[in-house]
């Protein structure tokens, strides 16, 4: 099986938690796995960064898996980097993944924002998946608006010939509203054969603990 890219339909949909859960699921199968987020933005004032959570899930902090850039403003990486007079170089992103593969790791890459959010101008998470041969897991909100966002993302992947492992509707309420209740079935009717998983909302501020609880739900994506 190919390595993974975890992308989202938007920012703040829980990509890091799902990426961590996938890493933990691989580790439960005794695979040597590591998470890698090429660029982090909005890092100021956060108790724990996404890359730190991925490192904890991986069980090690390998310098090759640290972000190429950590930027203070909560913007798309290409924009945040430009404002900081820096740049995310596509060749550097791909070299890191190749280096981690050469070291014997299965790699779980976490994108930034949505699938077409630019890491560099002219270079998106879709390009990363296509050029590195990554399968993709899409993380989306459980509620209203997700049908459009998921279908657009799924169609963009299909147009580039990138394999989709599945869609995770993340954060379903304990008492789901009409949109949360009907979205899984609606998606499989809109895109027949689409694997859709639902992960409930857990009221815990520790992302890694939430990820542990999601492992039994995401293991079917491996």
As annotated, the active-site residues are 37
Other Cβ atoms within 10 Å of 58 Cβ, number: 22
Cβ atoms within 10 Å, residue 194: 17
Q: What are the structure tokens assigned to 186, written together?
A: 């609606």
Segments of the chain assigned E as strands: 4-8, 33-36, 39-41, 69-71, 106-114, 118-120, 123-124, 135-141, 164-172, 196-200
Q: To which residue do tokens 């924002």 refer?
A: 113
Cβ atoms 25, 38 nearer than 8 A: no
Question: Which residue from 190, 189, 135 is spatially nearest to 165, judged by alpha carbons?
Answer: 135
Question: Hey, what are 194's tokens?
Answer: 């689409």
Instruction: Tell me the two tokens of residue 138.
Output: 């899409």
Q: Which residue has the tokens 């998983």?
A: 197
Angle at 126 between CA 124 and CA 128, to 5 degrees: 75
Provide the token pair at 93.
Answer: 């992103």
Q: Which residues pair with 4 in a beta bridge?
A: 108, 135
């Amino acid at each position: 099986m190919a390595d993974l890219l975890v992308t989202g339909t938007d920012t703040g949909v829980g990509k890091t938690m799902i990426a961590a859960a996938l890493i933990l699921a691989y580790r439960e199968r005794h695979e040597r796995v590591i998470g890698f987020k090429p660029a982090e933005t909005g890092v100021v004032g956060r108790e724990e960064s996404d890359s730190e959570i991925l490192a904890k899930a991986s069980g090690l902090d390998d310098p090759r898996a640290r972000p190429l850039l950590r930027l203070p403003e909560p913007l798309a990486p290409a924009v945040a980097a430009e404002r900081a007079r820096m740049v995310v170089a596509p060749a550097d992103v791909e070299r890191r993944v190749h280096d981690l593969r050469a070291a014997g790791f299965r790699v779980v890459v976490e994108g930034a924002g949505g699938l077409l959010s630019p890491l560099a101008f002219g270079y998106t998470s879709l390009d990363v998946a296509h050029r590195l041969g990554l399968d993709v897991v899409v993380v989306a909100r459980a509620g209203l608006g997700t049908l459009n966002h998921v279908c657009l993302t799924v169609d963009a992947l299909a147009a580039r010939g990138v394999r989709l492992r599945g869609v995770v509707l993340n954060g379903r309420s304990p008492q789901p509203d009409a949109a949360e209740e009907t979205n899984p079935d609606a998606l499989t009717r809109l895109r027949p054969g689409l694997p859709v998983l639902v992960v409930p909302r857990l009221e815990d501020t520790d992302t890694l603990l939430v990820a542990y609880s999601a492992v039994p739900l995401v293991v079917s994506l491996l």
